[in-house]
Amino acid sequence: MAFDLDMIKDVYTQMGERVSKAREIVGRPLTLAEKILYSHLYQGNPTEAYERGGSYVDFKPDRVAMQDATAQMALLQFMQAGKEQTAVPSTVHCDHLIQAEVGAEEDLEKAISTNKEVYDFLSSVSNKYGIGFWKPGAGIIHQVVLENYAFPGGMMIGTDSHTPNAGGLGMIAIGVGGADAVDVMAGMPWELKMPKLIGVRLTGRLSGWTSAKDVILKVAGILTVKGGTGAIVEYFGDGADAISCTGKGTICNMGAEIGATTSLFHYSHKMKDYLEATERADIAAEAEKVKDHLRADQEVIDNPDEYFDQVIEINLSELEPHVNGPFTPDLAWPISKLAEAAKEHQWPEKIEVGLIGSCTNSSYEDITRSASIAQQAADKNIKAKSEFTITPGSEQVRFTAERDGLLDVFDSIGGVVLANACGPCIGQWARHSDDPDKKNTIVTSFNRNFAKRNDGNPNTHSFVTSPELTTALAIAGTLKFNPLTDKLKNEDGEEVMLEEPQGIELPPNGFGVEDAGYQAPAEDGSDVDVVVKDDSERLQILTPFDGWDGDNITGMRLLLKAYGKCTTDHISMAGPWLRFRGHLDNISNNCFIGAINAYNKEANKVKNQLTGEYGEVPATARAYKAEGIPQIVVGDDNYGEGSSREHAAMEPRHLGVRVVLVKSFARIHETNLKKQGVLGLTFANPEDYDKVQEDDTVETVDLDQFAPGKQITLKFTHADGSEDLIKTNHTYNENQIEWFKSGSALNLIRKLEGKS
């Protein structure tokens, strides 16, 4: 069934004229990304050419998707916007709060009981405001979106950093914070700096052990975790067209790990096949009518260097399977080099657990390729040496895989099927371990592998690879194993080899499902009550942040100078803290507890300048806040990389942080800080980071002259009375300065609506 078909028809009806006008205004052929961007301007038809990496542009996305952990705060904010219904089709997906512990059925029952208050809130608020609600167990947001909502040439935003998964169906899909989602749901323009464009031409064909996952693992090794920042990655070429639709989704999904704004593929017959297989033949028929607009102009494909800011060439026929890690998703190792690297770096060679699934790799094709390896192990009498878990991407995938006997194959080698949810990928994993802090290795088909990401153990060496290679490595139980060249001993002492995986893109008997888990909203939600208990530990009605008084901010104390990598996981951990995602004050007790203090190289231990004692970061911040003392946080490069969670911006704001000064920001987090009224600044001279001292008192010198493109000076007064004036840059435009003046973007919406 196709959702929102009339909306999709409208997009296609307008697309031709808007693309033609954009091509005329820009004065050259267009990439696919440009066609979609220029056809989704908030103003309608384009009237000017925008500078890549320079111009701020107002867009009008077609839809919004929210996962349950981020939806709580997003919808608590939307409730303050004064709207009766969302302005665009929107959905909520309950996938983040289910902890993997025993198995699918038991874990789902426990989650429904434990999170009843939150699920009831999300269900009722969705019902009231016209939002589609996908119940716990329905599946992981990105797989469900790909199966039901993504469409070629569309634009959507989602409150999860892996929203770009929908690029597998040729959609510009961008991960954002909840405040951005509120803007779009409220009918306001959504602002984005016009992205730069990275083109990736794929030639040749995938074969053997090499899969779509290896494309993005290779790209991550080339671009690193910040090489795609501020850019859209556009894949094209004959090799790209030949990759399955879900394989394309895998590549786009993990583009978040290179910092890319989003990634997408050109429309192809593979997309048509997938739309038809998922009962959206009517959308495929509409896409066929405008297919020339769903690909870059031929001149771009023929001469990409003239039209992209950077071009990467990958021959899929020569691409080797990769394993990336540990501790960062851009440390790329061809499988032929992994054993040598493990020995050189003294990583634990024994693999304790292999985990397949997640939003990145949980399609029917992924499961069939992995099952073909598991079946060989069973047939050749090989016992898996590692624990092994399987996470289907959706109830539709799970039901179909079970019907086709695939889950029984995993069971035959001791695999455990987990709930259709994020689970271990986001730290929702009650891992069975005698020593939860020991140095160990796991291999996954997930997307992220930062320290403590999966199980909370900083000593877990997590490696990311394809589902089939994860399966093979779990069977072998060691990083030294290369299935392309190495043999294994079976239970009879015979040496046997695993043959290359065999996959099926789409189920021969079609997809099946008894209950997909979807709940449609009420036609009229005006009588629906949304109840939040005053004494709830899980949910809290928001109080607007105070606006700026127009003066310089004085008397700021340094709360934290973060050392090295400071991701959103360091600022606001997931795992057990997910239960407080709807309660700002309670979840603020995890604020910065994972960040490393530059002065003692310890986590969650900073100096309280009022007492001279060292304590936990949240407690220190609350002590300053109680005394009315504003705070500043200083950070390193690519500050705020990782998940889109706006809690990493809201928590510091709630605790009294007024300024965040860093060497450079990750895109989503910088926007989140701006949305919440935090002043996000970067060092004009990155070496000035070293001038910041532990006992500093800080003030802005010229904030009263806040304007686009104008530097802001901070005065750091040290304990000995000496001073340093530090020049800083910012990327605020006029509208974003109004967010800051109002105290937050939401405050400005309320003001425009006459609600405050």
Between helices 245-253 and 141-148, what is the axis angle to 10°? 140
Between helices 667-675 and 178-185, what is the axis angle to 10°? 70
With beta carbons less than 8 A apart as the criterion, state whether 309 and 197 touch.
Answer: yes
For 165-184, letters b (16+ CB in 10 Å) and e give: bbbbbbbbbbbbbbbbbbbb
* Pairing relationship of beta strands 63-67 and 90-93 according to DSSP bridges: parallel
* Annotated catalytic residue 96: yes
| Alpha carbon distance 656, 691 (integer Å) | 23
Phi, psi of 712 (to 5 degrees): -115, 135
With beta carbons less than 8 A apart as the criterion, state whether 711 and 691 touch.
Answer: no
| Residue from 62, 107, 160, 636 carrying the catalytic annotation | 160
* Annotated catalytic residue 750: no
* Annotated catalytic residue 95: yes
Cβ contacts of 714 within 8 Å, gap of 6 or more: 632, 659, 661, 681, 698, 699, 700, 701, 725, 726, 728
Q: How many secondary structure helices (H) and strands (E) does the chain include?
A: 25, 30
* Annotated catalytic residue 645: yes
By residue count, the chain amounts to 756
| Alpha carbon distance 437, 456 (integer Å) | 9
Preceding peptide of 326 cis, ω within 30°: yes
- Max Cα distance, the chain (Å): 79
With beta carbons less than 8 A apart as the criterion, state whether 671 and 96 touch.
Answer: no
- Radius of gyration, alpha carbons of the chain: 25
| Residue from 63, 162, 448, 557 carrying the catalytic annotation | 448
Residue that has been written with the tokens 């399966």 in this structure? 471
Phi, psi of 457 (to 5 degrees): -95, 115
Q: Which helix (H) or strand (E) holds 91?
A: strand 90-93
| Alpha carbon distance 676, 655 (integer Å) | 12
| Alpha carbon distance 717, 598 (integer Å) | 18
| Residue from 18, 40, 63, 96 carrying the catalytic annotation | 96
Provide the 10 A C-beta neighbour count for residue 313.
Answer: 11
Give me the helices (H) in 192-302, please.
212-223, 238-242, 245-253, 269-277, 281-289, 298-302
Tell me the CA distances in angstroms from 9 to 152, 240, 289, 414, 496, one per residue in order.
Answer: 11, 26, 11, 48, 54
Tell me the CA distances in angstroms from 408 to 284, 374, 411, 412, one per residue in order.
Answer: 34, 10, 5, 6
* Pairing relationship of beta strands 723-729 and 606-607 according to DSSP bridges: unpaired
Positive or negative torsion for Cα 636, 638, 644, 649: positive
**Enzyme catalytic residues:** 95-96, 160, 448, 643, 645
